[in-house]
Amino acid sequence: MTWQSETLIEMTCAEVEERLPLHALGLLDADEAAAVEAHLPLCPACQSVAVQFEAVAGAMPLALDPIAPDPAMRAQLMDRLDSGAPSAQVTKLPPTAMSPFRRLGLLAAAAVLLLAIGGGFWINRLIDERDEARTTAAMLQEFVSPNAVAMAMAPMAASEYDWGWGTSRLFKNPAGEMMLVVEGCPPTTEERRYPVWVAMGDDRTPLGDIAIGEDGSGWMMVTFPADIPAPEQLGVSMREGEAPLVDLFLGDMTG
Amino acid sequence: MADGRSQPAPQQSEPAARTGRRLFAPEDQAIDAALMERVTTGDKAALGELYDRHAPTCLALAMPILRDRRLAEECVQDLFLNLWQRPHTYDSQRGAFGGWLMRVARNRAIDLLRRQRERRFADFAVGAEGTPFDPELFLVDPAPDPAELAASSDTGDRVRAALVSLSGEQREALELAYFGGLSQSEIAERLNRPLGTVKTQIRTGMQRLARQLTGYRPDGTDTE
For residue A213, being part of any structural domain is answered with yes
Q: Which residue of A has its CA nearest to B87?
A: A87
Q: Would residue A229 count as lying in a domain?
A: yes
Residues A151 and A255 in one domain: yes
Residues B71 and B132 in one domain: no
Q: To probe the interface with A, which of B1, B11, B12 has the most A CB atoms within 10 Å?
A: B12
Check whether residue A52 and residue A152 sit in a common domain.
no
CATH code, domain carrying B49: 1.10.1740.10
Q: Residues B80, B14: one domain?
A: yes
Confidence of residue A8 (pLDDT cuts 50, 70, 90): low
Cα–Cα distance for residue pair A222/A210, rounded to 1 Å: 10
Residues in chain B within 8 Å Cβ distance of A48: 10, 12-16, 19
**Number of domains making up chain B:** 2
pLDDT digits (tens, 9 = 90+) for A200-211: 888 888 898 888
- A156-195 confidence digits (pLDDT tens): 877 776 566 778 888 777 777 788 888 777 766 666 788 9
Residue B3's SS3 state is: coil
Q: How many domains does chain A have?
A: 2
Q: Alpha helices of chain B — where are they, by DSSP H?
A: 16-21, 26-40, 44-66, 69-85, 97-115, 121-125, 146-151, 155-164, 168-178, 184-191, 195-214
Other C-beta atoms closer than 10 Å to the C-beta of B104 total 18
> Any idea what the CATH number is for the domain that residue A151 is in?
2.60.40
Q: Which residues pair with A222 in a beta bridge?
A: A178
pLDDT per position as a tens digit, B35-59:
999 998 889 999 999 999 999 999 9
Domain of A26 in residue numbering reads as 4-61
Say how many residues make up chain B. 224
Q: Do both B75 and B140 map to the same domain?
A: no
The pLDDT assigned to A163 comes to 60
Same domain, B35 and B65: yes
A6 pLDDT more than 60: no
Residues B14 and B113 in one domain: yes
Domain shared by B22 and B40, yes or no: yes
**Which chain B residues are Cβ-neighbours of A161 within 8 angstroms?**
none
- Closest residue in chain B to residue A57, using alpha carbons only: B103
Chain A residues with CB-CB distance to B47 below 8 A = 81
Collapsing DSSP to helix, strand or coil, B141 comes out as coil
Distance of alpha carbon B152 from alpha carbon B23, whole angstroms:
12
Within a domain: A121 = no
Residue closest to A46 by CA, chosen among B222, B14, B214, B100 = B14
Q: Model confidence over B155-211: pLDDT tens digits?
A: 788 888 888 889 889 998 998 888 888 889 989 998 899 999 999 999 999 999 999
B106 and B137 within one domain: no
CA distance B146 to B36: 34
What was the pLDDT predicted at A176? 78
Q: Is A245 within a domain?
A: yes
Start-to-end CA span in chain A (Å) = 6
- pLDDT for A105-144, tens place per residue? 444 544 554 444 443 443 444 434 433 344 445 555 555 5
Segment B58-80 shows an average pLDDT of: 89
Q: Are residues B151 and B114 in the same domain?
A: no
pLDDT score recorded for residue B145: 56
The minimum CA-CA distance between A198 and chain B, rounded to whole Å, is 31
Q: Is B166 on the interface with A (CB under 8 A)?
A: no
CA distance B69 to A158: 30
Residue at A159 is within a domain: yes
Whether B11 shows a pLDDT value over 90: the answer reads: no
**CA pair distance B149, B147, nearest whole angstrom:** 5
Residue A216 pLDDT: 73
CATH number at residue B140: 1.10.10.10
Q: What is the C-alpha to C-alpha distance for residues B164 and B136, in angstroms, rounded to an integer?
A: 11
Q: Average pLDDT of chain B?
A: 75
B136 touches chain A (CB under 8 A): no
Residue A20's pLDDT band, with cuts at 50, 70 and 90, is very high
- A residues 138-197 near B, CB within 8 Å? 162-164, 187
Answer yes or no: do B183 and A80 touch at CB < 8 A. no
Separation between Cα atoms, residue A186 and residue B170, nearest integer Å: 41
Whether residues B24 and B111 fall in one domain: yes
- Average pLDDT of chain A to the nearest whole number: 71
- Does residue B93 share a domain with residue B36? yes
Is the separation of the CB atoms in A107 and A123 below 8 Å? no
Chain B residues with beta carbon closer than 8 angstroms to that of A62: 57, 98, 102, 155-156, 159
How far apart CA B28 and CA B171 sit, in angstroms, is 28
Is B193 exposed, middle or buried, given 0-12, 13-18 or 19+ CB atoms closer than 10 A?
A: middle
* DSSP string over A89-153: H--PPPGGGS-HHHHHHHHHHHHHHHHHTT-GGGHHHHHHH-GGGHHHHHHHHGGGSTT-EEEEP
Nearest-CB residue to A76 (from B12, B77, B111): B77
Distant-in-sequence, close-in-space partners of B156: CB < 8 Å, separation ≥ 6: A62, A63, B140
Residues of chain A with Cβ-Cβ distance to B164 below 8 Å are none
CA B212, CA B190: separation in Å to the nearest integer?
28
Region B77-81 average pLDDT = 91
> B4 to chain A: which residues are within 8 Å by CB?
none
Do B155 and B143 fall within a single domain?
Answer: yes
Amino acid at B168: G
Q: Is residue A163 part of a domain?
A: yes
CB-based contact B80 A22, cutoff 8 Å = no
Question: Residue A167: CB partners within 8 Å, gap ≥ 6?
Answer: A152, A153, A155, A182, A183, A184, A249
Judged by a CB distance cut-off of 8 A, whether residue B125 touches chain A is no
**Pick from A158, A170, A181: nearest CA to A245:** A158
The reported pLDDT for the residue numbered B224 is: 43
Which of A33, A38, A30, A29 minimizes the C-alpha distance to A10?
A: A38
Domain-embedded: residue A202: yes
Q: What is the pLDDT of residues A39-95, one digit of tens each?
A: 887 788 888 888 889 889 989 998 888 899 999 999 989 988 876 443 333 323 223
Last residue of one domain, picked from the residues B58, B90, B119:
B119
Of A216, A206, A152, A154, residue with least CA distance to A184 = A216
ipTM: 0.76
Q: What is the span of the domain harbouring residue B163?
A: 121-224
pLDDT at position B215: 82
- Give how far Cα A225 sits from Cα of A59, A124, A198, A230, Å: 51, 36, 9, 9
Among A58, A89, A162, the residue with its CB nearest the CB of B99 is A58
Residues B105-115 have pLDDT tens digits of 988 888 787 76
The residue type of B161 is A
State whether B109 and B220 are in the same domain.
no
Position A190 in a domain: yes
